Structure formats: structure tokens, C-alpha cells
Amino acid sequence: AKSEGRAQIAFATEEFLKDAAMQKRLQRDLAYAIEDEQLHVAFQPIIDLSTGSIAYFESLLRWTHPQFGPIRPDNFIALAEASGDIIPIGRFVLREALANLRHWPESIGVTVNVSALQLGDDMLVSQVGQLLETHEIDPARLTLEITESVLVRNVHSEKIVNEFQAMGVAVALDDFGTGYASMGYLRDHTFEKIKIDKSFVSAMTKPGNSRAIVRAICNLGRDLGALIVAEGIESEADLATTRAAGCTHGQGYLFAKPMPSADVVTFIRTWQRETHA
Ligand code: C2E
Ligand code: CA
Ligand code: CA
Ligand code: CA
């Protein structure tokens, strides 16, 4: 029966994971995942397109299920939100991100994704402040990535975003362009960074309106004083078009896939040698 289950996973992983009974099972198992050390954080570089150097690493959560193997965050973040486990899990990601940051050059920062429930946690601001103090980290090296749906679901989002910015922590508007009211959020909040969703980036090299839209977002970002990060740069063509459109930063498989924390320092060293040779 066990091998049968495996064969099924290999055949249709996403479908299998999204099955209702399976989702219930995953939600139950996730409650033990932290203490059982099944969760870890991978890091993916974000490149400054004007200098070619590494500006940040994005922290991306990974779950290795003891029976089902690696499970993508898209398949379990919503479960953790529903159960409330996202609170301890989010804290874990912040701890890991800042603990790792201490081993990197000071010119490199880290970004952490924050979910709706987490942003609603009254303790979040003071916890981040405490972590920064404990690790003696310049707050400007931390960026919190927040999606529009997070802002929609949190009536106090403006106040919380302001509190982080008052601490010196940067806030990025993630997945820009995929929501319904993106302009309203740019009107009501100040973001240090805007991340353009990869669906626009991958469409830029094809016929259609994406190139004009990305160019307009970049102009808007410049006028608002925000950095513009293009997500999902997979090819040299993606890099050339996003750079030409005015994106200041880029992230994607062309530069590197998310990597285990143990590989980051070596990656930085190799990257610096190759780009500054
Ligand atoms: P996101 O914040 O938009 O993160 C970017 C996603 O794009 C990551 O998927 C990354 O691995 C993937 N990616 C990066 N470069 C490329 C590329 O060139 N091509 C393609 N096709 N994909 C690329 P990942 O790691 O599976 O994460 C999925 C989503 O899960 C994230 O989307 C984020 O919304 C959420 N997530 C991940 N980690 C956390 C976390 O610690 N907390 C919370 N609340 N959400 C998280
Ligand atoms: Ca993100
Ligand atoms: Ca994103
Ligand atoms: Ca996304």
C-alpha cells in the first residue's frame, strides 16, 4: 500500500496533495513539523540589476514530510493560516532568516514573507524588534514581503506597516499586479519595494501588453521612490527585457534557485568572484 501511495505521488503530486482528505492529514501533520525539524528555510538571491551584485536573499519555507517528501508552500501555507500554526511557523522563518543573515556580508539583506494572520498578531512588531536587537542587526537589512490579499484581510495593516517602517524595517508589496486593488494600496501605504509578479515577467518576451505594463509599473515605482523587483527571471531574454523596462532588481532561476542555508555563504563568495573579477 505504501509503494502504491508513492506511485500516485510521482504521477500527480499537486492533485494528490490538494485532495480534501490529504489536506486534512497535512494540516494535522504540520502541527508537529517544527518540533520534528521537518521545516527549513531556503534562500534565493535578489540581484541589483545595475551592479550585478546580490542585494538580498528571499527566505522561502520548505517542508520535507516524513512520508510524502518535499511539499511546496503553496500546498500548506493556507492550511497553516486556517489552523493558526502560521504564527509559530512564521516566527520560525523570521528566526532562521535573521540567524543566517549574521553570517552574510553587511551589504546583503534578507526578505521574509508575512501572511495575513501573522500581520494580525499583536506580538509581531515587538518580536521582530527583539530579534533584531538580540542579533544586533541593522533593521534596514530586513524586508517584510506582504501581498495585497494580506492587506485586504487586515484592517490595521496601515498602522502595522507604519510601525515596521518607523523601526527602520523595509516593506515590499509582493505579487504586484495580480490583485484587484493594487493602486489603492500604493495610494494608502508607502512601500520601499514593489515586486512584479512572475506572470508579467514571463509574458514580457511574448506578444501582448505585459511589456508596456511592466514599463509603467517601473515608472510609477521610480516616482514613488520604490525599488522594483522583477520575479521569475528565467532566461537572458527575461533579464534584458526587465532591465530595459526599468526594473531595479531581479530574482529567478537564471541567477539561482532557492538553496539550502548551508550553501549561501559559498554562493555569495563565488558570485562576488565571478561578477567582480
Ligand atoms: P512568492 O513570495 O511569490 O515567492 C516566489 C516563488 O517563486 C517561490 O516559490 C520561488 O521558489 C519561485 N520562483 C523563484 N524564481 C522563479 C523562477 O525563475 N521561475 C519560477 N517558475 N518560479 C520561481 P515557492 O518557494 O514555492 O513559494 C511559493 C509561495 O509560498 C511564495 O510565493 C509565498 O507566497 C509563499 N511562501 C513561501 N515561504 C513562505 C513563508 O515563510 N511564509 C509565508 N507566509 N509564505 C511563504
Ligand atoms: Ca515573496
Ligand atoms: Ca511574489
Ligand atoms: Ca506568489
Q: Looking at residue 105, what is its pLDDT?
A: 97
The pTM (predicted TM-score) of the whole model is: 0.93
Ligand 1, atom nearest to 118 Cα: 44
Of 60, 77, 241, 249, the residue with max ligand 1 atoms within 8 A of its CB, to mutate for a pocket test, comes to: 60
Strand 170-176, strand 227-230: pairing: unpaired
* pLDDT tops 60 at residue 99: yes
Answer yes or no: is the C-beta of 29 below 6 A from any ligand 1 atom. no
CB 75 within 8 A of CB 17: yes
Mean pLDDT over 14-36 rounds to 90
CB 201 within 8 A of CB 189: no
Q: What percent of the chain has pLDDT over 70?
A: 94
Distance CA 275, CA 261 (A): 21
Cell output for 6: 508513492
Tell me how far the alpha carbon of residue 56 lies from the centroid of ligand 3, in angstroms. 14
CB 90 within 8 A of CB 115: yes
E strand or H helix that includes residue 15: helix 2-18
For 101-150, the pLDDT digits (tens) are 999 999 999 999 999 888 888 899 999 999 999 999 999 999 999 988 88
For 31-67, the pLDDT digits (tens) are 999 999 999 999 999 999 999 999 999 999 999 999 9
Mean pLDDT over 228-236 rounds to 96
Q: Looking at residue 181, what is its pLDDT?
A: 64
For 182-219, the pLDDT digits (tens) are 788 888 888 999 999 999 888 888 888 888 989 999 99
Nearest to 79 by CA among 93, 89, 68: 89
Task: Give the DSSP letter string of 40-86.
Answer: EEEEEEEEETTT--EEEEEEEEEEEETTTEEE-GGGTHHHHHHHSTH
Residue whose cell numbers read 480534501: 20
